[in-house]
Amino acid sequence: MIDVSDTLDCFLQAVTLKTVTITSVDFNEARTVAETPLQAVIQPADMDKLIADNIDWSLSYFQAHTKTALSVGQYINYNSKDFKIIGIKDFSDYGYYESLIEEVKEAIL
């Protein structure tokens, strides 16, 4: 396999990865958010490839290309907006991962 991850280096930009942990304290939900710096290539998602029945057309969708694996349910802060990771494609044989991210209307924390 050809490692194409070096191509990402030309386009990487700094974003923030947010991981939310929910715990129960005295029967009350408590959220904590861990923020980690992340380098990613962000580009608009191909709207023709999204499943029309499963998306909210009022939101923005992007693809994030990273050299590290991310998880569905984590968040990426890009351009001062939070986006939830809703899909992952593993192209690690080629040196990168692709995540589909959906705009979140309310800030995570």
Across the chain, what does the average pLDDT equal? Answer: 91
User: What residue spans define the domains of the chain?
Assistant: 5-103
Assess whether pLDDT exceeds 70 at residue 109: no
- 26 pLDDT above the threshold of 90: no
Cα distance between residue 2 and residue 76, in whole Å: 28
**Dihedral of alpha carbons 48, 94, 79, 82, sign:** positive
Q: Which range has the worst mean pLDDT, 18-22, 30-34, 46-50, 68-72?
A: 46-50
Whole-angstrom distance, CA of residue 108 vs CA of residue 106:
6
pTM score, two decimals? 0.87
CATH of 5-103, one of 2.40.10.270, 1.10.10.10, 3.40.50.620, 1.10.3720.10: 2.40.10.270
The amino acid occupying position 73 is G
**Residue 47 CA: distances (Å) to CA of 52, 61, 64, 98:** 9, 8, 15, 15
Q: Which amino acid, one-letter code, is at 104?
A: V
Mean pLDDT of 15-38: 93
